Amino acid sequence: MKKGILTVVLSVLLSGLTAYGIVKSTAPAQSEAQQVVYSPDGQTVRTVNLSLSDYPDFTYAAENAVEAVVYVKVTVKSQQQQQYIDPFFRFFFGDEGMGGGRERQGSGSGVIIRPDGYIVTNNHVVSNATKIEVTLNNNKTYEATVIGTDPATDVALIKIDASGLPVVQFADSDKLRLGEWVLAIGSPLGEELRSTITAGIVSAKGRSMPNYDGEFKIESFIQTDAAVNPGNSGGALVNKEGELVGINTAIVSTTGSYTGYSFAVPSNIVKKVVSDLIDFGSVKRAMLGITGGTITEELAKKLNLSSPEGVYVSEIVKGAAADKAGIKAEDVILSIDGTKTATMPELQAKVNSYHPGDKASVQVFRGGKTMDVQVEFTDGSVKDGTVSSDGTVAFYGAQLKAVENGVLIVSAGNGKVARAGGEDGFIIRYVNDQKVSKPQDVIDIAKKSKRSIFIEGVTANGRPGYFGFGKDE
């Protein structure tokens, strides 16, 4: 019966294509069909024999990977209720706990990457959480602790006290191909739909999305049409072999629910970030030191490029890796160590795979010729006092800006300010008992401090607050 059904389906599909003059089909056997693909001028391009084996079987990938995907429940501090949340990530929280209580509940997903309890999820899932609970596919629940987070890639690493856990192996996300089948595994819409599996294809690679909060982001997302909804955030995107190719992170939607577009952080980025968090406690980010953008067709013609691919270098950071290697403004970066960098997100993703001090061969187009230059990456960490393009000022991992009644923490980041209790939306009024009105005041007072920095101000919900940390912690 199943073979008959397959033959009917193939006949319908192929006859539809035949109507457009593209495919001509025959049926050599009940479980097989043959298609002839023609070019627009009517010439035969190829003949393809279709059979049951041509249709993907996801059972192995699904049954194995689902065991390593967990449900993550978090309790979040109440003052975050008034915090601005990037609309692409807002779907994580859903409607649970959004009332006027002191705390609210949120949920997401995570992926076990080591049998001793290390779990990767999204930064926005566990950000500012006071309590994290992880429920495995076998219904066992554990309390988790945060090992480290990386807001720039929206990756976080948490750990539970367990051993012998099932894991998902990392795949090389650079080898993903457009049209390749993938599965999204997670807990959409809360605990009731835990361990849900959906299928789709890779729709695009190297995607970036608008950034509304002004923070630095590394975005080279995998776009898929696998259905992802609130609660899938932090879950697994796996290939047909059940290997991890990405961590589901965001959707683009006007309704808050899935409308056909979902995005995942590539596994190569995730692997590097979590490795750094385990080995160093923070991400060691390499920096090339350029400002630039993706090549347009008009610019490609002006530069005599054969195709509009590559990253146009508009500025060079003095003393950074690109400057020392001899890369110049108006150069076009085509690849790094043989990996094409057709867009700025792809370039960012590739650079992010290196550590400070690593060396790479960068292919550059200049004056009608291509050349290879050797680059030694520098440290990409932002120094205190550095002014970003959005006007915010760096301070112990946070981003500050002046407001009418003090200095606003635009982003607490992932440094000492955040670890000491500083939060987005906190207004700093005093540092070490001295009143401040601009970010430079905060930095100057902190520099003069011999041992510790004590900050007083107002929380995002208007309550008095304070926190402190040692300079040499």
- From 78, 107, 109, 124, the catalytic residue: 124
| Catalytic one of 78, 127, 233, 253 | 233
In three-state form (DSSP H/G/I as H, E/B as E, the rest C), the secondary structure along 28-88 is EECCEEEEEEECCCCCEEEEEEEEHHHCCCCHHHHHHHHHHEEEEEEEEEHHHHHCCCCCC
- Name the token pair of 454: 């004590």
Q: Report CA-CA distances (Å) from 418 to 53, 127, 150, 182, 292.
A: 53, 10, 12, 36, 31
Q: What are the Cα distances from residue 9, in Å, to 12, 18, 31? A: 5, 14, 11
Residues 6+ apart with CB under 8 A from 40: none
Known catalytic residue at 124 = yes
Any idea how long the chain is?
A: 473
Cα–Cα distance measured from residue 145 to residue 130, given in angstroms and rounded to the nearest whole number: 10
Amino acid found at 299:
L
Active site residue 154: yes
What is the rounded CA–CA span in Å between residue 164 and residue 286?
A: 34
**Neighbour-count burial of 176, counting CB atoms closer than 10 A to its CB (0-12 exposed, 13-18 middle, 19+ buried):** buried
Q: What beta strand segments (E) does 367-437 contain?
A: 369-376, 378-379, 393-395, 398-403, 406-411, 427-431, 434-435
Q: Which two tokens stand for residue 446?
A: 């902190």
233 is catalytic: yes
Distance CA 369, CA 347 (A): 20
For residue 319, give both structure tokens: 């003393």
Q: Which of 107, 109, 127, 154 is catalytic?
A: 154
CA distance 107 to 133: 9
Task: Classify strands 398-403 and 290-294 as parallel, antiparallel or unpaired.
Answer: unpaired
DSSP code of 413? T
What secondary structure letter does DSSP report for 170? B
DSSP state of 139: S
Comparing CA positions, the residue from 416, 403, 395, 419 lying closest to residue 457 is 403
Residue 218: CB atoms within 10 A of its CB come to: 21
**Where in the sequence numbering do the catalytic residues fall?**
124, 154, 233
